[in-house]
Each structure stands twice: as C-alpha cells, then as structure tokens.
C-alpha cells in the first residue's frame, strides 16, 4: 500500500525537521529500548550478577532494530498483545545468548518511561538552540532599526511613537522568557532508572540478595550511561506524569508567544509597514494574482494555537493517574509528547525563516507618521505658545477646533491630515509659525527607545545567547520545504 493511501501527520510531511522526526521515530524508540536493556545488563553484571559476556556482546551488536526485527516484533505483539514483551522476544532472537538476561528485574516502564525521558531530553536540546537563533535574528533586527520612528498602537489605535527596533524587543523579551523556562525544565529533567513494578525496587532487592546499596549503585550507573544527573527519588510504576506537565507548560508556552509575534507581523503586513519574506515565484492567491499573503506567519499562528493548548491534555493525564499507575496515560502520551516537540520544532523553523528576512518599508511608515504627527505635536505647540505669553486655555480651544476640522477631512473626506496647514493659516498661531516644522521631527517623539534597545540587546539578550555561541556561529537560516 502506498504512503499516499495512509493518513500522515502534516508535522512530519510538511513542517518538522528530520532531526526531530528521527527522535520520535519507531526505529529510534525500539532501538532505545534495546540500548536500555544493554545498559541494564552491563550494570547488573558490573554489580555481580552472572550475565554471560557473549550475551552482552550480542546485545551490543544488535541495538539498532532492523526492518526484519520489526516484522518479528509485530508478529509477537499480535500474539502477546504487549509491545514491550514483543520486543524482548525479538531482541532475544537477534541476541540468543542474551535471551535469558534481557529485561532482568525490570518492568515495562523501565524501557518505555526511561526512553520517553531520553527523547524529551534530546528534543529539548534540539529546540533550545533553534529558539536562541530566532532571538538572535530579532536582536540583529532590533539593533538595525533601533532609531527608526514608527507609530505605536494601544487598543490598535494610534498612540505615542516608538521605534521599529523597540517593537522587536517586545518580541525578544517574550521569547527570552520561553528560553528561560525551557532551560529550567531541561536542567531539572531526571531519569526514572530501575525502580521495579510499583517503585518499591523489590525485584532488584531480590536480585542483589537484599543489598539496597547495590540498587543505588545500579541507578547511578544507569543515569551516567543515559546522561542524566540523577533519578527521581520517588517512583511508582512510572515516573510522575507531573514531569511531562512541567515540560509541556514550558514548551507549549512558546506556541502562545509565536501567535502573539506573528499576529503583530500580520497586522503590520496589512498596514504595509513590514512583511515576512516573499519569494520571487511565490503565489499569494490562486485568484488574486497581486496578493502577498503572510502565509508563513499564518502557518506559525496555526501551529502555535495547537501547541499552546496541549498542556490541557498533559494536565488531564497527570490528574487522572490512580495510585501507582493506570494505563490510560499510554495512548495519549504516544501522541502528545512527540506532537508537542514536532510542533515546537516546526514553529521555530518557520520563525527563523521569518525573522531573518523581515522586510521594512520606511516610506510607508513615514507616510503614516505624517498623518498622526500633527496631532501629537499639539502639546508642544501649546507649550511654545505659553512661552510667548499666550493663554494656555485659549490656545487649547483654538487647537481643539482645528484638530476636529482636520480629523473630519481625514475620516469623512478621505483626505490627508491638514492640521499643520490650518495652524499656519490661522493668525492666532503666528508666534510659533517658524517653529512648526521643527516640532514635527519624528525623532523628537521616540523618547528613550534607541537606548532601551541597545541596553537590552547588548546586555540581557547577549548574555543569554552566550551559551549558544558555537551553534549560532555556524547555523544557517532555516528554509521552509513547502
């Protein structure tokens, strides 16, 4: 049967990277189980259990699960209705000298849970530098445009001016929060280790003839082999599903950040002030040939919406665990954990592409400023008139009347803001006529924005990116496959 006759997730066929897909592939999962069985046998032998040398040799030689071994495992699973035991037997056929030693003392969660922790560790290590790359892109962009005045919006209505770079620092700061949260859960991730069927370690205590210290040594060896600092001190049949929830809360928050940033970019594209990269042969619409739709940001927004809502699943899975474990966590985690990381990976690939190629249109920005600056300059005009001895209240009323007239031209007639011309034509304002043009310099209205950008990008942002400098120095901007 062709792959075209089976459902395939768009995450794997369109959006995610091959590296992330490999982590959560069937071969990686089954091969990691075998590696865990090798580590267990090696550690048990090191601690005195009688496991033949040739058993470990054969296990090491057959860690990577072949296509033929998958067929064998599927046949066993149809018979046993148990995936772990199916792979135990398939491994035993590949390594017959080890058939009696594989999975010794372990429960299924020794391989399933420890493998899930390994996959999450690897996936976190994959997305962190990609997130750093997006932040670096925006850091460069913010510094380039730190001085360019642009109309700020509150309530999506014209407000005081900021700069293009200052707006980018808003996005950076939120991504930095995601970076910090994901780094925190990555640093706190531990191993389940070998804990027995209910976390009592009873089977291992029996294997080591009551020597509890050897169980501690066993888990220390396993943690070292797997690359974890330690094991969770308390385990049931599984590691606590609270761990998955903690990881999800950090990773999935990236989805909300991505939506927020890309919504801004989409609005700016509508205003024609800024837009995402648009390729020479790219088609915006099958009907409207002139269109330049922000499809990358729309894709990111859609993926972010899905990612941001996944913690609800992890919450329900965690709170629904009874006592030492129930199996209603299994099917959903098979989907949610890979999906979470594939979504995050897909989002970061697209965000790297967008943030490294943002296009700014200064003339459009200045044109919009010219529409609003006369209104914003009225307070300065009031102050100048007061300095010439003009009553502030009288000046306020004159400006109010002219402002409403100019506003009517814009809103009711579709004309341009002619407030400045009206002021220049009104004798009342003659004392400040010579000052008017200087009062409309946009640079006078951006406050401390350039320094805010410099201090933030050269300080906190640079410090956070330092640990990723090797990756960033050789990384290339992601290209979207489709």
Q: What residues act catalytically?
A: 155, 285
Nearest to 99 by CA among 62, 46, 153: 62
Contact 52, 101 (CB under 8 A): yes
Pairing relationship of beta strands 157-163 and 149-154 according to DSSP bridges: antiparallel
Rg (CA), the chain: 31
CA–CA separation, 362 vs 164, rounded Å? 10
| Helices 362-376, 392-413: crossing angle, 10 deg rounding | 140
Cβ contacts of 283 within 8 Å, gap of 6 or more: 289
Size (the chain), residues? 482
Q: Is 174 exposed, middle or buried (0-12, 13-18, 19+ CB in 10 A)?
A: middle
CA–CA separation, 280 vs 294, rounded Å? 14
CA–CA separation, 279 vs 322, rounded Å? 53
CA–CA separation, 27 vs 193, rounded Å? 22
């Amino acid at each position: 049967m062709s792959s075209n006759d089976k459902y395939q997730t768009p995450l794997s066929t369109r959006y995610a990277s091959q590296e992330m897909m490999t982590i959560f592939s069937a071969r990686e999962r089954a091969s990691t189980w075998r590696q865990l069985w090798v580590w267990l046998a090696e550690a048990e032998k090191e601690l005195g259990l009688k496991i033949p040398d040739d058993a470990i040799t054969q296990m090491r030689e057959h860690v990577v699960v072949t296509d033929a071994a998958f067929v064998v495992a599927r046949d066993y699973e149809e018979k046993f209705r148990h995936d772990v035991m199916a792979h135990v037997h398939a491994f035993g056929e590949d390594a017959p000298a080890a058939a009696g030693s594989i999975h010794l003392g372990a429960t299924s969660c020794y391989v399933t849970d420890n493998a899930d922790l390994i996959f999450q560790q690897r996936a976190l290590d994959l997305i962190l530098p990609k997130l750093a790359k997006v932040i670096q892109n925006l850091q460069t962009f913010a510094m380039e445009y730190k001085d360019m005045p642009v109309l700020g919006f509150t309530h999506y209505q014209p407000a005081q001016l900021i700069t293009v770079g200052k707006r980018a620092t808003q996005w950076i700061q939120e991504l930095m929060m995601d970076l910090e949260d994901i780094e925190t859960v990555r640093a706190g991730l531990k191993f389940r280790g070998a804990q027995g069927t209910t976390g009592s370690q009873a089977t291992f205590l029996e294997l080591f003839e009551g020597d509890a210290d050897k169980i501690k040594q066993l888990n220390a060896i396993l943690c070292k082999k797997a690359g974890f600092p330690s094991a969770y001190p308390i385990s049931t049949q599984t590691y606590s599903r609270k761990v998955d929830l903690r990881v999800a809360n950090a990773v999935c928050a990236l989805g909300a950040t991505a939506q927020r940033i890309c919504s801004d970019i989409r609005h700016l594209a509508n205003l024609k002030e800024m837009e995402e990269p648009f390729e020479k042969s790219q088609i915006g619409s099958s009907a409207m040939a002139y269109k330049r739709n922000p499809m990358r940001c729309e894709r990111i927004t859609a993926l972010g919406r899905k990612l941001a809502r996944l913690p609800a699943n992890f919450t329900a899975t965690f709170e629904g665990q009874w006592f030492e474990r129930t199996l209603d966590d299994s099917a959903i985690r098979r989907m949610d954990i890979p999906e979470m990381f594939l979504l995050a990976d897909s989002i970061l690939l697209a965000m790297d592409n967008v943030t490294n190629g943002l296009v700014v249109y200064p003339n459009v920005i200045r044109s919009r400023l010219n529409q609003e600056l006369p209104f914003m300059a009225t307070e300065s005009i009031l102050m100048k008139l007061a300095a010439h001895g003009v009553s502030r209240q009288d000046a306020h009323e004159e400006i109010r009347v002219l402002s409403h007239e100019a506003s009517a031209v814009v809103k009711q007639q579709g004309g341009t803001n002619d407030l400045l011309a009206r002021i220049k034509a009104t004798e009342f304002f003659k004392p400040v006529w010579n000052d008017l043009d200087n009062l409309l310099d946009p640079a006078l209205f951006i406050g401390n924005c350039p320094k805010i950008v410099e201090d933030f990008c050269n300080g906190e942002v640079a410090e956070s990116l330092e640990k990723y400098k090797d990756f960033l120095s050789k990384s290339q901007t992601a290209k979207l496959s489709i």
